[in-house]
Amino acid sequence: MKCPFCSKENTRVIDSRPADDNSSIRRRRLCDECGKRFTTYEKVETIPLIVIKKDNNREQYDRSKIEAGVLRACHKRPVSANEINKLIDEVENEIFNLEEREIESKQIGEIVMDKLKDLEAVAYVRFASVYREFKDVNTFMEELTKLLNNEKK
């Protein structure tokens, strides 16, 4: 592993442990050249997943796109970075547990919205408004009404 500080190849693992989600390993490393320590994460490589977009274009799955959407939805909301990462991990696990090689972006969006609904109502509505492309106030109100009716149950 190349040292991020001095770019030398002489590094060694000094500690390993499972990461929070138990699907990756956290490794503390020490550079033999500069003596600095750094952390790496090792994750199982999965089958490449292709996402079918709304316009029928296909592109490789990219976790950062889900992360960006969720971060925008949670902006200035009382949601911690850990909660956001946990939500994204849950979405990813659900997607990969389907064991499909291709998935529609619509399906990913629905999974994200389902998880956001349980996490934070305002973030859910923000995400839904962009994802479902609300055209007017009535569409927005319909979604809010559904959300309010579900909370009353």
Provide the pairing of β-strand 58-60 with 24-31. Answer: unpaired
Range scoring the smallest mean pLDDT among 13-22, 49-58, 86-95, 141-150 = 141-150
Tokens representing 114?
């389902």
Confidence check: pLDDT of 150 > 90: no
SS3 content of the chain, % helix, strand, coil (to 5): 45, 20, 35
CA distance 107 to 30: 42
Query: Could you give the C-alpha distances from 12 to 17, 24, 43, 139, in angstroms and in order?
Result: 15, 18, 18, 56
Domain range list for the chain: 11-43, 50-152
Tokens representing 107?
């399906």
CA distance 38 to 6: 12
Do 69 and 111 touch, CB atoms closer than 8 A?
no
Note the pLDDT of residue 33. 94
CA distance 96 to 99: 5
Q: What is the pTM of this model?
A: 0.64
Sign of the CA dihedral with 115 first, then 120, 122, and 126 last: negative
Average pLDDT of span 28-45: 90
Confidence check: pLDDT of 35 > 80: yes
Q: Kindly state the percentage of the chain with pLDDT values over 70.
A: 94
